[in-house]
Amino acid sequence: MSQRHSESGFELRPVYGPDDVAEGLTGRLGQPGQYPYTRGPYPTMYTTRPWTMRQYAGFGTATESNRRYHQLLEAGTTGLSVAFDLPTQMGYDSDAELAAGEVGKVGVAIDSLADMRTLFGGIPLDKVSTSMTINAPASLLLLLYQLVAEEQGVAPDALSGTIQNDILKEYIARGTYIFPPAPSLRLVSDTFAYCRNEIPKWNTISISGYHMAEAGATPVQEVAFTLANGIEYVRAAIDAGMDVDEFAPRLSFFFVARTTLLEEIAKFRAARRIWARVMRDDFGAKNPKSQMLRFHTQTAGVQLTAQQPEVNLVRVALQGLGAVLGGTQSLHTNSFDEAIALPTEKAARLALRTQQVLAYETDVTATVDPFAGSYLMESMTDEIESAADQLIERVFDFGSSVAAIESGFQKNEIETTAYATSQEIDSGERVVVGVNRFALDEEEPYEPLRVDPGIEAAQRDRLEKLRSERDNAEVTAALTAVREAAEGTDNVLYPAKRALKAMATVGEVCNALRGVWGSYRPPESF
């Protein structure tokens, strides 16, 4: 029998026993809701209420996305998760030259307060938790959300949700950055400070390993590089004059859930333990909430296949189960057709039903941390913790996570792993059902959801109308105030909010900041 290994390269033994588990197991495990939070951040976990069921959605116009949100809420979704199109993610308006051909394609186009009003029309923002997957211009989308809430009469302290706002991983694995790292970190710190004062329940960042995993990172790399970025954000906020316990309770994380269920469960447990130790011992956090690693999970899009797409239903169910057994606070389950196109309404509903079956038809919510004490689980958790600690040290051998990013360290490590995985799939060593084994001679036809190509022209027309009807002198003055704040040390979010309320567009505010901070241009190669 050939020896099997985990995704991170650890030997998987046929039998585990007491000798495979570190000494002092009881102390290292602790109790659920207590340091080091290996067994979960809350004492009762899902025994009193299930995780938040989020479904990531957004496409075309704000009107179309709003319709999908209402459908998801009616189907039982307990939290919304907004996908933005690439121009919005990159801080360009829909009528910008660089936006051509991308408007509304991979998410919803949001150019102004008018679009945001439409996106959340008829949705009470004091009753719904909203996550927004946006990074470089995250602060601006949050301000638009706050402005819509104010128009609804909702107080800022009633708003709950998350902005991803994790710019460092964009330089590593995704690429939707705007500004260089230093001003980007300043904008993140400004957002921490703004939310501490203005939107106290909002999670100001979702430090993401998901996109690194989708780019090819192993579970150990995902944990190490994500937590290293988290450490960098904490340092930046402290350097900006904030006390760690003022902002750390609002930090959150975002991880992937793969089909390798056992290692994924161990990964989540190890990540909680590392973060608790770092926050308590390295940063002196005294508030238990500052030490808790709370996270959202999304099932692994990179593992979905266009071949025999119905098989993805099985993959997603297993991935979702791993996230739940690992103690996630919220979950998005991918639709089975996402490897082909935007999810159809039926596919999105089936993805939500997968979570509902896990929550209400299985017994995994009947007890806290079902795998606690498993020889295999505790051994694998120890292995991931040790390897991730070592990799975090390698990152900070460069001096900071930013310095490691600028050297290309994390990117090179992930690309090396991704290449090895690709070779394993090509050779058949790594089985992908329906692709390199159990394939069909002919695939069944499938009709995907398509975005109306006329959306871009309609969005341009709306922008032209908006610019002709607003008070452009007021907009110009407001954008000048944004530039002045960026040039100095004042919090940029306050003048940015005034500009957006005056109907300045996301692209115009980003351009004002580009004029001061410049745009990031990565080295051609490392």
**Residue-wise pLDDT tens digits, 14-26:** 898 888 887 766 5
**Residue-wise pLDDT tens digits, 288-299:** 999 999 999 999
pLDDT band of residue 2 (cuts 50, 70, 90) is: low
Q: Is the pLDDT of residue 196 over 50?
A: yes
Mean pLDDT of the 168-186 span: 95
Q: Is the pLDDT of residue 1 over 70?
A: no
Q: Is the pLDDT of residue 417 over 50?
A: yes
Which residue spans of the chain are classified as CATH 3.20.20.240? 4-427
Over pLDDT 90: what percentage of the chain?
Answer: 88
**Residue-wise pLDDT tens digits, 199-240:** 999 999 999 999 999 999 999 999 999 999 999 999 999 999
Between 526 and 335, the more confident residue is 335
Buried b (16+ CB within 10 A) or exposed e, 104-118: bbebbbbbbbbbbbb
Q: Is the pLDDT of residue 36 over 70?
A: yes
The 8-class DSSP code of residue 49 comes to S
- Residue-level pLDDT at 157: 95
Buried b (16+ CB within 10 A) or exposed e, 372-411: bebbbbbbbbbbbbebbbebbeebeebebbbebbbebbbb
Q: In what order do the strands lie in the sheet with 205-208?
A: 202-203, 161-163, 129-133, 79-83, 52-57, 330-332, 295-299, 251-257, 205-208
Q: Is the pLDDT of residue 44 over 50?
A: yes
- Work out whether the CA dihedral 485, 486, 492, 495 comes out positive or negative: positive
- Residue-level pLDDT at 525: 47
Bond prior to 522 in cis (omega within 30° of 0): no
Q: For domain 4-427, which CATH number applies: 3.40.50.2300, 3.40.50.720, 1.20.1250.20, 3.20.20.240?
A: 3.20.20.240
pLDDT band of residue 526 (cuts 50, 70, 90) is: very low
- 303: tokens are 């593992």
Q: From CA 489, how far away is CA 406, in angstroms rounded?
A: 25
- Please state which of the ranges 218-232, 336-350, 377-391, 474-488 shows the lowest mean pLDDT: 336-350
- Residue-level pLDDT at 209: 97
**Residue-wise pLDDT tens digits, 234-281:** 999 999 999 999 999 999 999 999 999 999 999 999 999 999 999 999
Residue holding tokens 């008070």?
A: 471
pLDDT band of residue 344 (cuts 50, 70, 90) is: confident
Q: Which residues, 6 or more positions from 100, have their beta carbon under 8 angstroms from its beta carbon? A: 456
- Residue-level pLDDT at 485: 98
- Residue-level pLDDT at 288: 97
Task: Tell me the CA distances in angstroms from 50 to 107, 152, 327, 364, 451, one per residue in order.
Answer: 28, 29, 10, 10, 34
- Say if residues 138 and 191 touch (Cβ distance below 8 Å): yes
Q: Which of 450, 390, 498 is nearest to 150 (CA)?
A: 498
Q: What is the enclosing helix (H) or strand (E) of 117?
A: helix 113-119
**Residue-wise pLDDT tens digits, 373-388:** 999 999 999 999 999 9
pLDDT band of residue 523 (cuts 50, 70, 90) is: confident
- Residue-level pLDDT at 393: 98
Compute how many other C-beta atoms are within 10 angstroms of the C-beta atom of residue 501. Answer: 17
Q: Is 467 exposed, middle or buried (0-12, 13-18, 19+ CB in 10 A)?
A: middle
- Residue-level pLDDT at 24: 64
- Residue-level pLDDT at 19: 86
Mean pLDDT of the 61-89 span: 93
Return the CA Rg of the chain: 23
Q: Which of 249, 384, 272, 288 is nearest to 326 (CA)?
A: 272
DSSP-assigned letters across all residues of 287-352: SHHHH---EEEEE-GGG--SSSTTHHHHHHHHHHHHHHHTT-SEEEPPPTTTTTSBPPHHHHHHHH
DSSP-assigned letters across all residues of 384-422: HHHHHHHHHHHHHTTSSHHHHHHHTHHHHHHHHHHHHHH
Q: What is the enclosing helix (H) or strand (E) of 55?
A: strand 52-57
- Count the residues in the chain: 526
